[in-house]
Chain A
Amino acid sequence: DGGITQSPKYLFRKEGQNVTLSCEQNLNHDAMYWYRQDPGQGLRLIYYSQIVNDFQKGDIAEGYSVSREKKESFPLTVTSAQKNPTAFYLCASSISGAIQPQHFGDGTRLSIL
């Protein structure tokens, strides 16, 4: 079945540590997105990529980095510069320029140890 796989489901970060969240899709979508969700709030865009080897900052990119070396993969690194990383992180994908809605993964819950 086609879909988006995020791993791990739960992740714990120690002080000063970088951690990487994985996002893989087999939907053949061009565009991929990372969102952060805090309790009781909507989703905020961290980074997005519409083609391989290209990505743009979203509204809250500080303290995060991404890469897009393959169409299927869009990993997100939460760096030590992100002082408040505890949140639910959602990855999404879509056909670039299409009207179909973005398709979401099951999310990764990141907490600080």
Chain B
Amino acid sequence: ELKVEQNPLFLSMQEGKNYTIYCNYSTTSDRLYWYRQDPGKSLESLFVLLSNGAVKQEGRLMASLDTKARLSTLHITAAVHDLSATYFCAVDMNNNQGGKLIFGQGTELSVKP
């Protein structure tokens, strides 16, 4: 059974600081997604990572994928309050056939002034 684990689950940061969220998964997959969710809202897609060594960046967020280690990271640079949200990673279980995603538990990020 595919398991996806994120850590930390809660993260309180000061503005201007850097931090990394980790996403480990238990079986082979080369397709991983990062989503953002604001409280009570829907999920917004942030990144799609499709191969070993893939790196994507958007603003203060950078995501990477190491399929051999079964690890993805979401790095936050110089955090600002607007980044406060819950971040989920999700792994495609059907490997290039699309379909089922298995989600991590989410990391609740709070950026304080």
- Is the pair A102, B41 in contact by a Cβ cutoff of 8 Å? no
- Is the pair A97, B41 in contact by a Cβ cutoff of 8 Å? no
- Is the pair A90, B98 in contact by a Cβ cutoff of 8 Å? no
The answer to whether A99 has its CB under 8 Å from any CB of chain B is yes
- Is the pair A95, B101 in contact by a Cβ cutoff of 8 Å? no
- Is the pair B33, A101 in contact by a Cβ cutoff of 8 Å? yes
Q: Chain B 24-59 against A: per-residue CB contact (8 Å), 1 yes, 0 no?
A: 000000010101000011111100101000000000
A104 to B99, CA, bound (A): 14
Using C-beta atoms within 8 Å of the partner chain, give the interface range for chain B. Answer: 20 to 34
A45 to B102, CA, bound (A): 8
- Is the pair A96, B103 in contact by a Cβ cutoff of 8 Å? no
Q: Which residues of B contact A101 (CB under 8 A)?
A: 33, 35, 45, 48
Q: Give the number of residues in A that approach B within 8 Å (Cβ atoms).
A: 30
Q: Which residues of A contact B103 (CB under 8 A)?
A: 35, 42-44
- Is the pair A94, B98 in contact by a Cβ cutoff of 8 Å? yes
- Is the pair B97, A97 in contact by a Cβ cutoff of 8 Å? yes
- Is the pair B105, A42 in contact by a Cβ cutoff of 8 Å? yes
The answer to whether A113 has its CB under 8 Å from any CB of chain B is no
- Is the pair A95, B100 in contact by a Cβ cutoff of 8 Å? no
Q: Which residues of B contact A105 (CB under 8 A)?
A: 42
- Is the pair B98, A98 in contact by a Cβ cutoff of 8 Å? yes
Q: List 18 A-B contacts (CB under 8 A).
A: A40-B105, A40-B106, A41-B106, A42-B88, A42-B105, A48-B99, A58-B100, A90-B43, A92-B43, A95-B98, A97-B97, A97-B98, A97-B99, A100-B48, A101-B45, A107-B41, A107-B42, A109-B40
A residues sitting closer than 8 Å to B (CB atoms) are: 31, 33, 35, 40-45, 48, 50, 58, 88, 90, 92, 94-107, 109
